[in-house]
Amino acid sequence: MSEAQPMISTTKTAKRRTSNRRKTSSNGKHSLRVMTSSKNNKWGTPKEWFDYLDLEFGFTLDPCCEHETAKCMKHYTPKENGLAQSWADERVFMNPPYDQIKLWMKKAYEESMKGALVVCFVPSRPDTEWWHRYATKADEIRHPKGRVTFDGADAAAPFPTAVVIFRPRW
């Protein structure tokens, strides 16, 4: 595996960080506080992560992004409302806004039932309702090693990430 490719763990558990040290941005604001709130939904997926997954899946649609964070030529911004669009027969990469994650995970599952392949780049949150209701129905769940640093962030996310894969079911 080359340096540019993200590492993915197939184990069910991850090592916990032992340090409680907080990271701050250059202007002194606590960047982790921002990343754990749902007020900013514009954290872009790191290019190396998207590229790594795109090699395997060949994505055709990014349904929940801004123009500046879009990973596919075909994409929907909040104005186009990807939740209201059909994803049937698409190969979807989804890094959903975390304040609406339950709605997006439901949509991902439902669209896979209509023939879409949907790869979700989401927080690993097995203690939540949305995880048990939708993520557990996925065909595969991958657990990347370490923490992801999203585009636009100055520190790694304070939570683990999961790659939840819904394969097409007709």
Instruction: Give the predicted TM-score (pTM) of the model.
Output: 0.77
Computed on alpha carbons and rounded to an integer, the radius of gyration of the chain in Å comes to: 16
Question: Is a pLDDT exceeding 60 seen at residue 151?
Answer: yes
Residue 75, strand partner residues: 62
Condensed to tens digits (0 to 9), the pLDDT of residues 46-98 reads: 888 999 999 999 999 999 999 999 999 999 999 999 999 999 999 999 999 98
Model confidence at 148, in pLDDT bands (50, 70, 90)?
confident
Q: What is the 3-state secondary structure (H, E, C) of 19-88?
A: CCCCCCCCCCCCHHHHHHCCCCCCCECCHHHHHHHHHHHCCCEECCCCHHHCCCCCECCCCCCHHHCCCC
Model confidence at 41, in pLDDT bands (50, 70, 90)?
low
pLDDT for 40 equals 53
Mean pLDDT of the chain: 81
Higher pLDDT, 4 or 165: 165
* Domains of the chain, earliest start first: 29-166 (3.40.50.150)
